[in-house]
Amino acid sequence: MWNDTANSSHGTFYSASVSVFAAGFVAKNISFINVAPIPRPGDVGAQAVALRIGGDQAAFWGCGFFGAQDTLHDDRGRHYFKECFIQGSIDFIFGDARSLYENCRLISIADPVPAGVRSITGSVTAHARESNQENTGYSFVNCSIGGTGWIWLGRAWRPYSRVVFAYTSMSNIIASDGWNDWNDPSRDQSVFYGEYKCTGDGAHLAGRVPYALELSDVQALPYLNTSFIDGDLWLKPYCDSLISA
């Protein structure tokens, strides 16, 4: 637990309560918390990271990540999150990792909006894939999204941002347009934002931005299991040890 912000630590990347850069990190039933105050509209430098994970082949089982803006810096490497709880407001999962989130709860604490008002107050993800040569992205499978605010599923922090939600329950806090191009229309042609067989009041596709994809079975398949993160090469021993611990 810590309370650093981008302002107090001289940069978002340095505000993390915990930073991990070594490969092979495993955590089970641990909470990572940044208790910095929730940013108010217009606040600058209020990003406050709970965990920065920049090492390859990391696995998290039943962990909690608590913060507001920029809670989980899912930075670099291949990562697996299983049955985790992730709380935040703005871009609360961000970075350029290749990560699979299974059966996770994503809870927004973004500012509530009055009835009938549709003003964006947050975003779940901000993925930073720089080019189509990078094999990175976030995949959320059998997750749930709830909480407060009126939020996007993701913002295109970098031009080739890649995020997929599959079999995920989305509450009515998800904005009808779903996604945002970081106010750079040129990114509409390069991002990969996919949804597959999601449910709930926030999962209706009719109002989505034109560049959002309703994935076919074939398109969705690479994102639905641990093969997305090359899990057959490294994950099984981790899972076995976590289950038996």
DSSP of 163-205, one letter per residue? Answer: EEEES-EE-TTB-TT-EE-TT-GGGGGT-EEEEES-BSTT---
Strand ranges of the sheet holding 122-127, from the earlier edge strand across to the other edge: 18-20, 51-53, 72-74, 90-95, 122-127, 151-156, 179-180
Give CA–CA dist 6/46, Å, rounded: 6
Is 219 strand, coil or helix? helix
91 is known as an active-site residue: yes
Give CA–CA dist 97/129, Å, rounded: 8
Task: Choose, from 56, 91, 111, 181, the residue flagged as catalytic.
Answer: 91
- The catalytic residue positions are 91
